[in-house]
Amino acid sequence: MSKVTLENVVRAYEATALVGGAPSRPALDHISLEIHEGECVSVVGPSGCGKSTLLKVIAGLELPNSGHILYDNVDVTHVPPQARGVGMIFQDYALYPAREGQGNLSYYFEVRKKSEEEKQQRLRETAEMMGIGFDLLLSRQVGTLSGGERQRVGIARCIVRDPNVFLMDEPISNLDAKLRERTRVEMKRLLTRFGITTVYVTHDQQEAIFMGDRIVVMRSGRVEQFDSFDALYYTPANLFVASLIGTPPISVLSVEHADTALYVHDGQHWSLPDHLAVGLPAGRLRIGVRPEGWQVALEATPNCLPISVSHIERLYTERAAYVHGQIGGASVNALVPLDFPDAPRVYIQPDWEHVYVFYPDEETPLHLPGVPDLF
């Protein structure tokens, strides 16, 4: 297991730079990161933001144009991938097809001449953690395994090999929902048990939160923020991170701050509590409110504004619901109890302790709620 450090890594594909003559942003644009030994870091961001390129550069499959990659403070920038001791799993990972599952796992030990005892011990532990029925998978020919089974054998194989770094690129996105959930629990248990340093790319936010001790948010080849889920959620570095993290997303409203109130549209306004009336600059602003940061009433209520409801999304397993609606052209998503009645119109105001405030033309926040003291 290694600590992994990226120092100012740039990776530009010439092909993209030449499109239309104008040079575009590099796939990786001065990335600096430090991934602790034994930590699992998730990487999220829109398609094309450089997640796969980041993994390839860490693995040595792509060479950076500039910058350095270090494993345990040793520069491996020019060390070939097979000498780095990385385990890699991709969305459609190919196993050695001629071998049965067991052979896939033990191949590494045969090549590296590990002791039979060591091999069996680690195999046993891995198979145990992969859960009931995994032994059976191991004895079958790869060709007879389903996609999901292959992927689980592939993951186990990587873990048995004791890699310095484990790199996974959307490893379970092809599996159905149930198997995805089960496989991610198995993976998390194995990674924690063996303390393997892991970089885990996914477009699924729930998966990123579940797998990652910390999360990297990328956009256009840059790291926007690298922190715990709570920090990304409550203290986002900018509006991009605030909007990406959280489902349904934060509602963002354009407002005008005047006379200790926030005007939303048509003269409709919320009166501000004193600390915000004094603390916020006058003029145009944007406020962000998370679904759980709204107070919602069925009847007209003091200091609440009406919103037109488009639909109510009921989450029966969570015993909760989301009211989706509009106010002044902006979307609002508000959390309510499961039994909240259907209504074409409801009345809302932000819970003022939980608002995020931005300037109209700047992404950096002006005011953040901070991480709540829940426990």
Binding region for ligand ADP (CB under 6 A): 13, 15-16, 27, 45, 47-53
Tell me how far, at minimum, the Cβ of 373 lies from ligand ADP, in Å. Answer: 35
Going by C-alpha positions, the residue among 285, 352, 354, 294 that lies closest to residue 325 is 294
What count of other Cβ atoms lies within 10 Å of the Cβ of residue 151? 25
Tell me how far, at minimum, the Cβ of 358 lies from Mg ion, in Å. Answer: 29
Specify the stretch interacting with Mg ion by CB under 5 A; choose among 45-53, 116-124, 334-342, 356-364: 45-53
Dihedral, CA of residue 76, residue 42, residue 176 and residue 316, to nearest 10: 170
By C-beta, is 106 or 225 nearer to ligand ADP?
A: 225
What does 48 bind: Mg ion, ligand ADP, none (CB cut-off 5 to 8 Å by kind)? Answer: ligand ADP
The answer, yes or no, to whether the previous bond of 248 is cis (omega within 30 of 0) is yes
Q: Output the CA torsion sign for 244, 295, 359, 231.
A: negative
Specify the DSSP element, H or E, that contains 154.
helix 147-160
Tell me how far, at minimum, the Cβ of 278 lies from Mg ion, in Å. Answer: 47
By C-beta, is 52 or 126 nearer to ligand ADP?
A: 52
Distance of alpha carbon 143 from alpha carbon 162, whole angstroms: 25
By C-beta, is 52 or 164 nearer to Mg ion?
A: 52
By C-beta, is 27 or 239 nearer to Mg ion?
A: 27
Distance of alpha carbon 6 from alpha carbon 218, whole angstroms: 14
Q: Looking up tokens 């709540």, which residue turns up?
A: 372
What does 13 bind: Mg ion, ligand ADP, none (CB cut-off 5 to 8 Å by kind)? Answer: ligand ADP
When asked if residue 52 is in the footprint of Mg ion (CB under 5 A), the reply is yes
Tell me how far, at minimum, the Cβ of 9 lies from ligand ADP, in Å. Answer: 12
What does 15 bind: Mg ion, ligand ADP, none (CB cut-off 5 to 8 Å by kind)? Answer: ligand ADP
Whether 273 and 261 have beta carbons less than 8 Å apart is answered as: no
By C-beta, is 44 or 307 nearer to ligand ADP?
A: 44
Mind giving me the DSSP string for 301-313?
-TT-EEEEEEEEE
Specify the stretch interacting with Mg ion by CB under 5 A; choose among 47-55, 85-93, 124-132, 336-344: 47-55
Backbone angles phi, psi at 354, to 5 degrees: -120, 25
Instruction: Tell me 342's DSSP state.
Output: P
Q: With helix as H, strand as E and coil as C, how does 94-130 read? A: CCCCCCEHHHHHHHHHHHHCCCHHHHHHHHHHHHHHC
* Cα separation values, 284 from 269, 293, 349, Å: 13, 21, 18
Residues in contact with Mg ion, shown as a per-residue x/- string from 75 to 114 under the rule CB under 5 A = ----------------------------------------
Distance of alpha carbon 142 from alpha carbon 257, whole angstroms: 64
What does 283 bind: ligand ADP, Mg ion, none (CB cut-off 5 to 8 Å by kind)? Answer: none
By C-beta, is 27 or 127 nearer to ligand ADP?
A: 27
By C-beta, is 220 or 271 nearer to ligand ADP?
A: 220
Backbone angles phi, psi at 129, to 5 degrees: -75, -25
Q: Which two tokens stand for residue 360?
A: 């109209």
By C-beta, is 220 or 331 nearer to ligand ADP?
A: 220
Tell me how far, at minimum, the Cβ of 29 lies from Mg ion, in Å. Answer: 16
Tell me how far, at minimum, the Cβ of 60 lies from Mg ion, in Å. Answer: 17
What does 47 bind: ligand ADP, Mg ion, none (CB cut-off 5 to 8 Å by kind)? Answer: ligand ADP
The footprint of Mg ion (CB under 5 A) covers 51-52
